[in-house]
Homo-oligomer: A and B are copies of this chain.
C-alpha cells in the first residue's frame, strides 16, 4: 500500500500514522517528496488488514493499493491459455466456438427448430433460457424444469452441448443435472452465494460481466469460482450500462485484449445483449472475432417478433446462417478455425 500524507504535518501526527501502519502488520517506508511525504507500507495486502480506512484520518490524503487483488484467475498464476472441454467441444483453443439458440426456451417446436438450424449453420453449442431473470414480476419467467428437459432433448437430437442460466442457489443441482455450462447472468454477477453454488457443481461456468462492473471486480467475481475449486471459468462480455440510449448497452470489446492480458481464462462475447438490436449483431460479431474472442453467444429465434423475451435482439434462422457465412473470412484472418 502507498499512503500519501497531507502537506505540513507535525512530527506527532506523522508518527501516529506510522504506528498505525505497523499495528496493522505492515513495515512503513518513508519517502519525502517535493510537496508530499509518501509512505510505502510493505506487507501482503491480501493477508493483512487493508489500510484503506486510513483515508478517514485527517493526516492522510490518499491510500493506493499496489498488489492486484485477484490471484487464481490472473495470467501470473497460469501463463498459458486455459481451455475448457465441454463434452468434447473445447472453448479457448484454436477452434472458434459459436453458442447459439433462443433467449428463452418456449416450447419443443421452437427449440428443436432452432437447434437444428443453428447446428446446420455451424453453431457448436446450444443456448436457451429455462429460468429467466425479468425486470418486472409481470413478465414471463421461463419454463423452469420443463425447459431444462427440452434442452436435454435438443442436445440428444443434435449432439450440441447445452448452456443455460442458473439464477437461484436452490436450482444449482437441478440445472447442473441438465446443463453442460452454467451461465451466470449480468444481474447476478456479484451474487457471490450463487457463484459459489455454481462453482461447487463442478460444471463449467460462464460469468457475464455485470452492468456496471469494473474489470477488476469481474476478475474478482471469477476468483470466487476458482477459489471454490472449479477451474472451468469463462468470462462473457455482454455490454455495460452507459449514458447512451441508442443501444440497450454499450458492448465493450476492449475486454477481449484486456482479459487476455490479465487472465488465462477464455473470453466470450454476447453481441445480442450487448447491442440489444438484431441489426447490429453482425458487425459486433465480426469485431469480436477480429479482436481475438474465443467464442460468441448469439440469440436466435425462428420468429423474433413473437418471442416471449428480448425479441428486439434475436436474429432469425436465415439471419444466423448468413452471419455464419460472413464470419468465415474474419475467423481465418484471426488465425482460428
Q: Interface of A with B (CB < 8 Å)?
A: 2, 4, 7, 20, 23-24, 29, 31-36, 38, 40, 42-46, 49-50, 52-57, 62, 64, 66-67, 69-70, 76, 133-138, 167-170, 187-188, 190-194, 210-212, 214-217, 220-221, 223-224, 227-228, 240-247, 250-254, 256-258, 261, 274-275, 277-280, 282-284, 286-292, 304-308, 310-314, 329-330, 332-334
A66 CB to nearest chain B CB (Å): 5
18 residue pairs of the A-B complex, CB under 8 angstroms, read A33-B43, A34-B42, A35-B44, A53-B306, A53-B310, A56-B278, A135-B190, A137-B223, A137-B224, A137-B227, A187-B190, A211-B211, A242-B242, A242-B250, A254-B274, A286-B291, A286-B334, A329-B332
Which residues of chain B are within 8 angstroms of A50 by Cβ–Cβ distance?
311
A283-B292 contact, Cβ under 8 Å, with A2-B2, A252-B244, A253-B253: yes
**Cα separation A29 to B50 with both chains bound (whole Å):** 24
In the complex, the 9 A-B pairs of residues with the closest C-beta atoms, listed nearest first: A53-B311, A212-B212, A290-B290, A329-B333, A287-B287, A257-B283, A187-B190, A31-B40, A286-B290
Partner of A287, one of B44, B64, B138, B290: B290
A42 to B31, Cβ gap below 8 A?
yes
A193-B214 contact, Cβ under 8 Å, with A2-B38, A29-B31, A247-B258: no
Which residues of chain B are within 8 angstroms of A135 by Cβ–Cβ distance?
69, 190, 217, 220-221
**Cα separation A72 to B212 with both chains bound (whole Å):** 28
Which residues of chain B are within 8 angstroms of A190 by Cβ–Cβ distance?
133, 135, 187
Which residues of chain B are within 8 angstroms of A66 by Cβ–Cβ distance?
4, 33, 36, 38, 62
Which residues of chain B are within 8 angstroms of A46 by Cβ–Cβ distance?
138
Which residues of chain B are within 8 angstroms of A212 by Cβ–Cβ distance?
211-212, 241, 243
A40-B44 contact, Cβ under 8 Å, with A240-B250, A254-B280, A279-B257: no
Which residues of chain B are within 8 angstroms of A275 by Cβ–Cβ distance?
254
A312 to B56, Cβ gap below 8 A?
yes
Which residues of chain B are within 8 angstroms of A308 by Cβ–Cβ distance?
49
A243 to B246, Cβ gap below 8 A?
no
Partner of A254, one of B224, B256, B284: B284
B314 to A36, Cβ gap below 8 A?
no
Closest to A54 in B: B305
A67-B36 contact, Cβ under 8 Å, with A192-B134, A251-B254, A330-B290: yes
**Cα separation A313 to B52 with both chains bound (whole Å):** 10
Which residues of chain B are within 8 angstroms of A242 by Cβ–Cβ distance?
240, 242-243, 250, 252
